[in-house]
Amino acid sequence: MPLHFKNLAQHRNYVLHWYRYTLRNSSRYTSSAHLQCRIRRITKNVLKKHKADMSSWSVYILLNEIKELNERLISGDITWVWDKLSSTAKAKKKRKNILEVPSPPSVMTEDPNHIREMNILHQYIKERQKELKLPLNIPNEYKSKLLLPLALHNDSLKKLHRLQIQLAQGPPKIHLNYTSAGRSRIWFIRSALNKGKRQSKALGRLIRMEKKQNQNILNYLDSCQENSIWAWHEAVWEHYLVTGKILRNEQFTSFFHENASKSREILGGTLISTSTPVQSQPPWSNLVEDWLHPIKSAMKILQKKSVERAKYFDQYRRKILMDGHAKFFNQKSNQMYSNRLARYKIMAEQDLPFVTPFFARQNLPSVLKSRKFVK
């Protein structure tokens, strides 16, 4: 029986000598820390991988390669060393890709329609068992051939009853709704034609944009508050250098709270007239006014912008929605109701008298679907 290479002391010492020699040369003849790390890592991985190699020819080739690697390091041929390491790493990746990856086990996906029918059947059996109209143990053949058609028929009867109630209530009404975006109220028509997923995408973009702009205004007000504190400290310092007197914080507090409260009230829903007379200001110097005037101007601009947007949406409600849109949606809702009522009358005369649960084309679910009352 041949003896393995790792059991030969001379072979182990020889390989260990070349490994240590390579580590020393990588630190001595290369100045790149990245290259030194690559040499150590790849050499260590190759030695571990071929540790149990029984082929003498393979071991001979690897020893020659590590010998040539050290010669190139000593001669300063860094480009060859880098390419050799790259080719070794690529060859290792290719061997991994050659291995066939077992395909995952195929999973049988059920039809969503079948799952829905099974849920209806389960609820139907559960209700009948509570009423003591069905036994506890029912064969699967009876469930699929006898009880499933009855369960679907019973479920469709509930839908037909809801449909009759909706038609008896008359045409669907339209409503004038709004959503708040700060001071602004964005008005829009809500009817059966544009509710849920049918809502206009342009309306959704408008609402999101207005809410984002209002949040930006609130963020700007917070920024004005922070900047006003720094401006006040600078003004107090310069006022002290000029006059030798220190201003009191109460003066700054009255200024800020007066302007900030007006801005918050306008953004929150209480409109303050811009023609309100300005209260008498404390006797500040022109130097202090120069520091705080830009902040007051910025807050007035934010107030004006919010008021203008609120006026725009109020005019939009009175001039556009109430004049044209409401009438349009009302006509469309009445037309939709008339078409639906006509389809129901045709179904009641031609299809409902001949409904039977056990025929695929004449059962109640098929009739409701053919008349477009269910999807």
pLDDT tens track for 101-138: 455 555 556 788 889 999 999 999 999 999 999 998 99
- How much is the pLDDT for 281? 45
Instruction: Return the domain boundaries, the chain.
Output: 5-94, 113-172+350-370, 175-336
The β-bridge partners of 188 are 177
What token pair was written down for 297?
Answer: 């101007």
Cα–Cα distance measured from residue 188 to residue 210, given in angstroms and rounded to the nearest whole number: 14
- How much is the pLDDT for 2? 60
- Contact indicator for 75, 67 with CB cutoff of 8 Å: no
- How much is the pLDDT for 96? 47
pTM score of the predicted model: 0.52
pLDDT in tens, 28-62: 888 788 888 888 888 888 888 887 777 778 888 88
Which ranges of the chain have pLDDT less than 70? Answer: 1-6, 89-109, 249-285, 320, 322
Other C-beta atoms closer than 10 Å to the C-beta of 31 total: 8
Q: Which residues contact 332 (CB under 8 A, 6 or more apart)?
A: 191, 193
Opening angle at CA 15, ends 13 and 21, nearest 5: 100
Transcribe 32-89 into DSSP letters: -HHHHHHHHHHHHHHHHHTTT---HHHHHHHHHHHHHHHHHHHHT-HHHHHHHHHHHH
- How much is the pLDDT for 284? 52
- Do the strands 184-190 and 175-181 form a parallel or antiparallel pair, or are they unpaired? antiparallel
- How much is the pLDDT for 25? 85
